[in-house]
């Protein structure tokens, strides 16, 4: 009897393992640079371009996109470092960019005298490498030296080379870190903190460093002092430096999952773990106050600090075990607080979303409490970028809305003044259009907000071509943005544009995000369907004229949408997507996202993942909308194999689909303005062909 029981149990295990490991006939397409795989890519690219480039508006959209990207009137986005403004500038003469700077006073007076620090095009030609500048970390407080990060083709992995800002050249025998997904920062002129690929066994399963070292100038990287080592099952471990006037702290973040971390301060010869919630984020340091963003309620000293709040702890006390908390700002049910907190010398600058509309506040720490004042910004839009001077209270911010061009302001937090510096030109006639915000009721009764932009003379006859875009993941908020190219390429062609703020994002704080995690993922998709159905019920559009587009996690969203509800849509653009949710955690950085989606290797979790995994839910004989997949060979975050395999499977099932894979560009999809213009032209040409 027992033998029979164990035989049945064994058969059940075998059946389950077989179900978990269904034969994948397209796995060869995961070989990024495989000869057969690249031949497949070239064949698909050629077929797609030959069709979509013939759409009547292709060339005009391409030209307009390139004109906008290369325009001398565009804002030279400023980053304040000491008394300079730094900027990466791209145009038709400098397709990879000039890293340059000018005096802050000259910039604000409208007369910048730019000096080139590094010509990325010239460097690419010299090295025969398609370099993309990914960032530069400066030496505090002089900023005469930088650790410059360069990516080959735009991927996340970078090499790091030390650069002399005064001499405008790389430093011979300076700090150099070979290609890796990692980071580095100056501790002082002769010491940097480094997380990198230090060799076998030093990376996590997610493909990120798990070791942090202190490296002294003039020594070998292999001999650098190991100060921290995380687990191979962590997401990553990184080091950074917190500056607070005359005090600096060497800090370490050990990311256990995508949303949980332990933080340490290196003191003398050991790391001191900070006694703060595991799911909070450190976002700054000012006036001995460590600024953290809470993701769940925190009960401490008979008080409850609410999820989503921004609070501070006295860091000198925290390091000796005392937790003294001050509340900076606490959200309500309609607001969320951005983690992109920026420091001036005496103020914190904090973005607050109220019903998905941005507001900006400044806070200063006086008499052991935070004092708030509202900073002037235009209404009904988004603050897309803030750059502050850490040595004064001056800062820049950029503001934009759907119909008003991005505008740059220069402000001073100490006297709460601001002035307009520059603005983008108007790339389309916005006077013909209007913006509205509605809420759709999701399957479980949740009200989901969305923005809609259309002609003031719209006819509610169900025949308007409509594009619906959303993201729905990783607590990322989708806020208003200037439509620019979309205005001419889509609105002026009679189209309607919709931006949905579905769950999974951060529009209403951590709880809005957490409502779409793991086994709750279907809420995200149901929200998207609810917005789609609301547009149809309002007779704004119909399934024959409704198109959807999304990238990355948004690519997964639209992949699920067309497999679960093909009846709602006519055309889909799916960019740099996740689609094979059984193997996503084995491809590139995928393992780092299991806190978002779940672990498909655990049967209980695969049970809910498999219900929506687009790759596994394709069926023969369905009336699917037409698909256009866009990805990049150099995407080292979301594997291009997702899009490749989905296309190949759809082709073999007899579905007509389009595909375009840029050979560089990383997860952004494009490295140059020309590449972006081509992608834009293909995308809008596809929608114009299918939805009008």
Q: Which residues contact 678 (CB under 8 A, 6 or more apart)?
A: 62
CA dihedral 590, 596, 602, 603 (to 10 degrees): -120
- Please answer whether residues 477 and 507 qualify as being in contact, where contact means their C-beta atoms are separated by less than 8 angstroms: yes
Angle at 357 between CA 351 and CA 362, to 5 degrees: 25
Number of helices followed by number of strands (H, E) in the chain: 14, 40
The encoded tokens of residue 461 equal 């006859």
How far is the C-alpha of 625 from the C-alpha of 466, rounded, in Å? 14
- Determine contact, residues 612/564, Cβ cutoff 8 Å: yes
Q: In terms of residues, how long is the chain?
A: 692
Catalytic residues: 552, 667
Q: Which residue has the tokens 């809470």?
A: 294
The token pair at 478 is: 């989708």
Distance of alpha carbon 241 from alpha carbon 257, whole angstroms: 22
E-strand ranges in 175-280 read 176-180, 183-188, 191-195, 211-216, 225-229, 236-244, 247-255, 261-267, 270-273
Calpha distance 361→349 (Å, rounded): 6
Residues 6+ apart with CB under 8 A from 463: 541, 542, 545
Torsion of Cα atoms, 319 then 320 then 326 then 327, to 10° = 50
> Which residues, other chains included, contact 63 with Cβ-Cβ below 8 Å and sequence gap of 6+?
677
For residue 195, what are its two tokens?
């997380």
Residue-by-residue DSSP string for 545-612: GEEEEEETHHHHHHHHHHHH-GGG-SEEEEES----TTTGGGSGGGGGGHHHH--TTSHHHHHHHTTT
Cα–Cα dist 647/660, whole Å: 11
């Amino acid at each position: 009897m027992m033998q029979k029981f164990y035989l049945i149990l064994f058969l059940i295990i075998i059946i389950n393992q077989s179900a978990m490991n269904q034969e994948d006939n397209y796995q060869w397409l995961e070989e990024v640079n495989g000869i057969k795989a690249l031949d497949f890519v070239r064949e698909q690219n050629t077929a797609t371009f030959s069709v979509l480039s013939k759409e009547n508006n292709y060339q005009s959209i391409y030209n307009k996109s390139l004109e906008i990207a290369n325009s001398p009137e565009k804002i030279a986005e400023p980053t304040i470092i000491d008394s300079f403004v730094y900027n990466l500038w791209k145009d038709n003469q400098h397709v990879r960019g000039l890293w340059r700077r000018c005096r802050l006073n000259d910039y604000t007076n409208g007369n910048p005298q730019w000096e080139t620090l590094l010509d990325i095009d010239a460097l690419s030609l010299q090295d025969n490498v398609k370099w993309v500048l990914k960032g530069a970390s400066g030496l505090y407080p002089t900023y005469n030296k930088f650790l410059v990060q360069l990516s080959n083709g735009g991927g996340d992995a970078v090499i790091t080379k030390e650069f002399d800002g005064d001499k405008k050249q790389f430093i011979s025998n300076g700090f150099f870190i070979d290609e890796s997904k990692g980071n580095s920062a100056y501790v002082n002129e002769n010491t940097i903190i480094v997380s990198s690929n230090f060799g076998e066994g030093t990376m996590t399963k997610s493909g990120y460093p798990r070791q942090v070292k202190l490296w002294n100038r003039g020594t070998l990287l292999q001999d650098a002092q190991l100060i921290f080592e995380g687990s191979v099952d962590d997401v990553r471990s990184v080091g950074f430096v917190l500056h607070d006037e005359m005090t600096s702290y060497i800090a370490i973040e050990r990311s256990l999952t995508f949303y949980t971390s332990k933080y340490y301060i290196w003191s003398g010869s050991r790391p001191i773990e900070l006694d703060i919630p595991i799911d909070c984020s450190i976002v700054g340091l000012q006036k001995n106050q460590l600024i953290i963003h809470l993701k769940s309620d925190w009960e401490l000293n008979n008080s409850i600090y609410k999820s989503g709040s921004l609070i501070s702890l006295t860091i000198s006390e925290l390091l000796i075990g005392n937790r003294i908390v001050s509340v900076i700002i606490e959200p309500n049910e309609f607001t969320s607080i951005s983690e992109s907190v920026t420091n001036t010398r005496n103020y914190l600058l904090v973005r607050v979303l109220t019903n998905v509309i941005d507001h900006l506040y400044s806070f200063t720490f006086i008499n052991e409490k935070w004092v708030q004042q509202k900073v002037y910004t235009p209404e009904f839009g988004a603050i897309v970028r803030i750059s502050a001077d850490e040595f004064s209270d001056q800062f820049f911010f950029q503001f934009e809305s759907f119909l008003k061009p991005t505008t740059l302001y220069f402000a001073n937090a100490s006297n709460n003044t601001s002035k307009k510096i520059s603005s983008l030109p108007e790339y389309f006639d916005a006077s013909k259009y209007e913006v509205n915000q509605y809420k759709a009721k999701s399957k479980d009764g949740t009200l989901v907000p969305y923005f809609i932009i259309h002609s003031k003379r719209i006819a509610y006859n169900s025949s308007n071509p409509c594009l619906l875009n959303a993201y729905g993941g990783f607590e990322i908020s989708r806020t208003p943005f200037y439509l620019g190219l979309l205005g001419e390429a889509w609105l002026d062609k009679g189209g309607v544009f919709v931006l949905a703020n579905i769950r999974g994002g951060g529009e209403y704080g951590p709880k809005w995000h957490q409502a779409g995690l793991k086994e709750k993922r279907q809420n995200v998709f149901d929200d998207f369907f609810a917005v789609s159905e609301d547009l149809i019920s309002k007779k704004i559009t119909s399934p024959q004229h409704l198109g959807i587009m999304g990238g990355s996690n948004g690519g997964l969203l639209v992949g699920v949408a067309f497999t679960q509800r093909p009846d709602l849509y006519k055309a889909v653009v799916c960019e740099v997507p996740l689609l094979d949710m059984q193997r996503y955690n084995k491809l590139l950085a995928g393992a780092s996202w299991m806190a978002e989606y779940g672990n498909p290797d655990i049967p209980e979790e695969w049970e809910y993942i498999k219900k929506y995994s687009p790759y596994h839910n394709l069926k023969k004989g369905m009336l699917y909308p037409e698909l256009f997949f866009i990805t990049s060979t150099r995407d080292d975050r979301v594997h291009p194999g997702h899009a490749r395999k989905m296309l190949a499977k759809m082709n073999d099932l007899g579905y007509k689909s389009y595909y375009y894979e840029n050979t560089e560009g990383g997860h952004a999809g494009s490295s140059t303005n020309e590449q972006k213009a081509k992608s834009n032209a293909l995308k809008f040409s596809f929608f114009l062909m299918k939805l009008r």
